[in-house]
Amino acid sequence: MDSFGVGDRVTIRYGERQGQHGLVVERQPAEVYKVRLPDGTALFFSRQSLLREAVEPSTRLPTPWGAPSRN
């Protein structure tokens, strides 16, 4: 498994929030990551609890989380 950096989009693998997507906002020693979820909560996860989201190879940008807003 590889490490995650700040700004990486991840999917939670285990626990109550399994399957939810988030954004790494802080990396701490001992492979612990602070992840911000779309509902606004920020939780701490270990490296084993996270999966890196797929990145589109043509643009090297993360895939969007949903439909664009209509503001």
DSSP code, position 41: -
Q: How many domains does the chain have?
A: 1
In a domain, 70, yes or no: no
Q: What is the pLDDT of residue 4?
A: 84
DSSP assignment of 6-39, as one string?
TT-EEEE-SSTTTT-EEEEEEEETTTEEEEE-TT
**22 against 70, higher pLDDT:** 22
**Domain span holding position 41:** 9-52
In a domain, 16, yes or no: yes
**62 against 33, higher pLDDT:** 33
In a domain, 46, yes or no: yes
- Can you give the CATH number for the domain in which 43 is found? 2.30.30
pLDDT digits (tens, 9 = 90+) for 18-59: 888 899 998 888 889 899 998 888 999 888 888 888 766 555
pLDDT digits (tens, 9 = 90+) for 7-25: 888 998 988 888 888 999 9
In a domain, 3, yes or no: no
Q: Is the pLDDT of residue 69 over 80?
A: no
